[in-house]
A = this chain, B = another copy of it.
Amino acid sequence: MRIAIVGLGLIGGSIGLGLRRSYVRGQLSDVIVGIPRRKKTIAEAITLGAIDEGTLDIKEGVAGADVVLLCTPISLIIPKLKELVPALKKGAIVSDVGSVKSEIVAAAAALMPAGTFFVGGHPMAGKEQVKLEAAEADLLTDKVYILTETPQTNKPALKIMTEVVTALRGKVVKMDPMTHDLVVAAVSHAPLAIAAALVNSVAETSLAYPQVKSCAASGFKDTTRIASGDPVLGVDMFTANKLGVLASIGAFRVALGKLEKAIQAEDKAAISKLLAQAKNFRDDLYQ
């Protein structure tokens, strides 16, 4: 199998490393072609072991590929897909790793030539560093990797993408694009907005109380970790998944309001109940 990876950042690089490890182990006998933005990335990715070969010419890179993985920022996924579709071979499967799916899956469905197939993907993994040098073969190991399934999804293509994700040691979860966007808004996009707003409110407080800086201990550090991610990714998430994000923030405001009301009333039983509810749900998730 020939796999083309468009975009060699943290995710594209980690997928290359993970697939080539499986390839060495004989799970998939692949050639991994990398199509980065900059020429020097090709040599770096080959040295790292993330790709076998590379090119800057996207059409040349995807020609003959069985699977094409679009690992660019969200806003470039559809533009890159438009560029590459004329070069796809019959039977080729294209997937992406964007953290928003409704818009992308709908737009891709309209672009794919007959006899080629699009399956939306979203590996639920990441870190603050988004460059190739941060890539790890194990970045996706044991992590949820969502693949989209709609009534139009080609089953054999979905099966092959499931095999690719399994070779990466990810855990496939199938979901329709709209459910994906609501779920990810709740557990990923809205938390980013909340963490960033929390940092900004503390930055504001620090103008009057500079002591805030020396007192921001481990709790604050963890609560706001995701606010140190690349703003470009956040802009993409918040605009591409606008409705999901706003709905999740709305639900969060309601939950926060309940706690504020209980604090205002000094209602210890109500505060305790809300905190215990949160603790129990969370402990259950991560036990």
Contacts and interface: CB of A to CB of B under 8 A. Distances in A.
Interface of A: 124-126, 143-144, 146, 171, 173, 175, 179, 182-184, 186-188, 190-206, 209, 211-229, 231-232, 234-235, 238-239, 242, 245-246, 248-249, 251-256, 258-260, 262-264, 266, 268, 271-272, 274-279, 281-283, 285-286
B217 A125 contact: yes
A57 to B, nearest CB: 30
B196 A278 contact: yes
A168 to B, nearest CB: 15
A239 B226 CA distance: 29
A200 B235 contact: no
A199 B259 contact: no
A177 to B, nearest CB: 12
Contact of A198 (B124, B228, B252): B252
The 9 closest A-B pairs by CB, nearest first: A231-B275, A197-B256, A196-B278, A199-B278, A201-B255, A197-B255, A200-B255, A124-B217, A201-B252
Contacts of A282: 199, 224, 227-228
8 contacts: A187-B217, A196-B275, A201-B248, A201-B251, A222-B223, A227-B279, A238-B259, A239-B271
Contacts of A179: 209, 211
Contact of A279 (B213, B216, B231, B251): B231
Given A182-B205, A234-B271, A242-B266, 4 more contacts: A183-B211, A188-B219, A205-B248, A245-B263
